[in-house]
Amino acid sequence: MQFGQSPTGVAGCQPVPPDPTVTEHSCYLRSVGICVDPLWFLLTGYWWGKRRMFYETQTNAHGLAHDPFKALVSPRPIGWIGSLAADGTPNLAPYSFFNAISDSPKMVMFASDGRKDSVTNIEASMEFTASLVSRALAEKMNASSVSAPPHVDEFEFAGLTARAGELVAAPYVGEAFAALECKVVDICRPKTLSGGEAEYILVIGQVVGIHIDPAIISGGRIDMAKAAPVARLGYRDYADAAQTFEMTRPSWNEDV
């Protein structure tokens, strides 16, 4: 029997004439293909799984159960913003869109998702405090994030001491390891690529005074293990700076 020819010599059946396209070689390739195809799928599936993820933020199609952006840009320090309402009510709220942006002069910023009580108060008084949160105060910090109406004093609500600043009337957290007294230099909504304005309101303050609990100072430096500043990670996760390590910056040597 020739290759490609019907093996059926059954009575009544005419032998099939040989197919000129079916050679021994192509038959071999087909049988190999049956084995190779699943392997190919496995390999491409593996590659697809290992591929770096990329998505455009305009569609925000990250495909994950939760938006990863805030988890990626972390850990973020928490500015515990103290302000005074026009009627004298102390206000306190944590903001993790917060950071130092300059040390000469010393400046910090925080960003509010729309006009919350802190922004309303600060727009009127043009001053605020930013207390820093230690691990021991994390739960009280969280309690102070309650979206209470403007007449509620979150210092009292969270069981904290409101201390008036030395250079600003805005109160700070008496129990905090450090607090910055700030005077506003700018309040704006950042511009967006589409030419509009972001929903967030950016408040930039120049730091005019700094309170430090002497208990966190050792050897003339802030002892981070004692301060244990709390940082916001993604989702509901937090970290404190319990583990630290030191690195000296390289200096550029032209001779090398």
Binding site for ligand FMN (CB under 6 A): 78, 91, 93-97, 111-113, 116-118, 142, 145, 147, 232
Closest distance to ligand FMN from the beta carbon of 96 (Å): 4
Looking at the Cβ atoms of 4 and 75, the one nearer to ligand FMN is 75
How does 222-247 read in b/e, with b if 16+ C-beta sit within 10 Å?
Answer: eeeeebbbbbbebeeebebbeeeeee
Closest distance to ligand FMN from the beta carbon of 127 (Å): 15
Closest distance to ligand FMN from the beta carbon of 104 (Å): 25
Residues in the chain, how many?
256
Looking at the Cβ atoms of 99 and 206, the one nearer to ligand FMN is 99
Looking at the Cβ atoms of 37 and 113, the one nearer to ligand FMN is 113
CA 137 centroid distance within chain: 21
Q: Supply 50's token pair.
A: 């290992």
- Which residues are registered as beta bridge partners of 171? 164
Report helix, strand or coil for 249.
coil
Closest distance to ligand FMN from the beta carbon of 147 (Å): 4
Looking at the Cβ atoms of 4 and 97, the one nearer to ligand FMN is 97
Q: Supply 40's token pair.
A: 């190919």
Closest distance to ligand FMN from the beta carbon of 160 (Å): 14
Looking at the Cβ atoms of 120 and 206, the one nearer to ligand FMN is 120
Q: Supply 1's token pair.
A: 């029997």
CA 203 centroid distance within chain: 19
